[in-house]
Amino acid sequence: MRKYLSFALAAFLFAACASSARPVEQDGTDLWLAAGRPYETVLASVQTGIDPALPAEGFHIYDKDGKRFIQAGSEAGLRYGVYALQRAEALGQAGPGMDLQEKPFYDIRLLNHWDNLDDTVERGYAGLSMWEWTATEIPEARIRHYGELCASIGLNGSVLNNVNSNPLVLDAEHIARVAKIADILREYGIKTYLSIKWTSPIALSGLKSGDPLDPKVRQWWKDKAAEIYAAIPDFGGFLVKANSEGQAGPQDYGRTHADGANMLAEALAPYGGIVMWRAFVYAPTSPDRANQAVEEFLPLDGQFADNVIIQIKNGPVDFQPREPFSPLFGRLKKTKMMVEFQVTQEYLGFSNHLAFHGTTWEECLDSDTYRDGEGSTVAKMVTAIAGVANTGQDPNFCGYVFAQANWYAYGRLAWNPELSAEQIADEWVRQTFLKPEGMKDKAFEKKFVEPVKDILMASREAVVDYEMPLGLHHLFGGTHYGPAPWERLGRPDWTPAYYHKADSAGIGFDRTRDGSGNVDQYNEPLASTFNDLETCPENLLLWFHHLPWDYKLSSGKALWDEICLHYDQGIQTVEGFRKTWQELKPYVSPALWAETDRKLTIQASDARWWRDACVGYFQTFSGRPLPADVEPLRTPIDSLIYRSIQSDRLGMPQHDEAGDPIIMMPRRFRRP
Ligand code: GCW
């Protein structure tokens, strides 16, 4: 009886505790600054000073004689110090005796906005351009909010416009507008940069050519640089997409990337500006798109001016859910390099799917290129870092709360690429979600922080599993949202068939020495590791090898079965996220809970759509049944093939009330 009573009492107390914990109302507009004290309050609580002996952007937080001090190398460093203290407070790491000294790993830590002057955002899933190019006034309040967010994670530069640039961004009206934005961003330690269109001298001033060796063209860029710097004295420089995906460039005039980059570099050098020249180049005629950056840039190593940096996407193809690192990182020795990550989820379910990129970027940054022997990680080979932003006019900036985690993770890794994805996930959860009133720290930690962190950490692999496991890549349809493994019409290197090469014999892209030879763009021992089936990592197997359907994997199972199991695993992982999220309802603001619940419903349905399309389509080649222990296909391939999701006019995918994708026949197949 006594035992029963104490059990009943414990149950009652537990219920009382749980019911007394009331979630705090939040709408996601404070992002990761939600849990900390306001910046001004933190600043007012410390003694500050500038110490030129400290690194320019570095800071030192310490306690002395009962007081807390922040010393920094500059105003910018001081700001980073205050935000670091704010973070430490929110994380419970700011107790007496605190001593924290930091400086950023990279000097240049940028966001690249793919925003167009008509306010659309290429691959943007959070509304129109946050800069509001078409409005009469610039959106000052939003720009300030953005400045705080960037500064709080240590980002110090923004390229305001799309790499598919409009020449008008360099006309007098736009330079004046950009100067106003730059004046605000400067207050947060952020430099302003622009993407330029190669043909600007032709479009804006009627020059006959864009030849980088033509004196008139060179003078035009010098004059333009002078005009920009008169308006923006600390202008950062240009980002350039040239001779890539239809953009013009120096090759149109028989010149090289180096000729083009150096001409711009010469124009910017007197003012301290830089040129970020993208290595994202590929021609439709090439047998392997993954080879092309090395083929074009290696011969130019050592020819670029000092203020040119080659901006290289993390993988050799295009921001796929999983790619090996770009071999170019291990090949250029006399040229500055920067890595380009994609914060916006172009290939990972837009702002509908929960996909935390901390793990993606950690994987790339930690990869050993062996360029200068063991330990030559990508993080160490590059001297700067860029991330394609996921921001828009949405009040929460990113489309929904979990998409904000990627902006946060990117900034933290740009500041310190040695941080672990797990630590970053932990920080983000604690700073973003407010602890319910009346809930103890320990309980919040166990019941909320840990499960959410687990979701984040498993999320990217889940997307890899249900979109394209085992090294498969680029199985996307038109808008890059849904599956289209059947697509083979149009430019070959834009079609999934070019990448998966499925036929009755097997699947995968042969990049071995017997195939495209891509493996040999990597330094040894990686080249042989990737080339040899025995040593090639299984998560990149079909990236490097074309294999028969019955090829046995380390599990002892046939390739076909493993493919099916991975797709199934992806679905099951997302179902696990949904279940966890249901359990977390008592601890999250109803608005944020409902928003994420809807997204996870969509994600689970999309995951099945991906599986049905890919497994169903590949089955037409393998001719094999699904393994017994996986969920059966929901939709037969005949009802999916050649179909895609309905999108709105901005390319946003449409789902019905149940969260299922609205699938339709593309116009070209419909009857008039
Ligand atoms: O991933 C592709 C995108 C394009 C983008 C291009 C690039 C800005 O689909 O939308 O264009 O990469 O990085 O230049």
pLDDT at 671: 55
Q: What is the dihedral of CA 504, 507, 511, 516, to 10 degrees?
A: 30
Cα(4)–Cα(2) distance, integer angstroms: 5
* CA dist 355 → 321, 371, 516 (Å): 10, 31, 31
530 CB less than 6 Å from ligand 1? no
- Residues 262-310: pLDDT tens digits? 999 999 999 999 999 999 999 888 899 999 999 999 999 999 999 999 9
Question: pLDDT class for 650, splitting at 50, 70, 90?
Answer: confident
| Least confident window among 1-10, 416-425, 591-600 | 1-10
What is the number of the ligand 1 atom nearest to the C-alpha of 318?
1
241 CB less than 6 Å from ligand 1? yes
pLDDT, average across residues 658-670: 83
pTM of the entire structure? Answer: 0.96
Question: pLDDT class for 49, splitting at 50, 70, 90?
Answer: very high
Question: Among candidates 91, 152, 98, 93, which has minimal Cα distance to 444?
Answer: 91
Per DSSP, the residues of 101-151 read: EE--S-SEEEEE--B-TTS-BTT--SSS-TT-TTSSS--HHHHHHHHHHHH
Mutation pick for ligand 1 pocket among 113, 115, 122, 161 (CB with most ligand atoms within 8 Å) = 122
Q: Which of 25, 118, 140, 245 is catalytic?
A: 245
- Residues 304-352: pLDDT tens digits? 999 999 999 999 999 999 999 999 999 999 999 999 999 999 999 999 9
Ligand 1 centre distance from Cα of residue 147 (Å): 25
Question: pLDDT class for 430, splitting at 50, 70, 90?
Answer: very high
5 by Cβ neighbours in 10 Å (0-12 / 13-18 / 19+) ranks as: exposed
4 pLDDT exceeds 50? Answer: no
Look-up: residue for tokens 């600007």?
A: 200
pLDDT at 668: 64
pLDDT at 478: 86
Mean pLDDT score of the chain: 96
163 CB less than 6 Å from ligand 1? yes
- Residues 123-150: pLDDT tens digits? 999 999 999 999 999 999 999 999 999 9
Cα(524)–Cα(262) distance, integer angstroms: 32
Is 318 annotated in the active site?
yes
pLDDT at 285: 81
pLDDT at 670: 57
What is the number of the ligand 1 atom nearest to the C-alpha of 388?
13
pLDDT at 669: 61
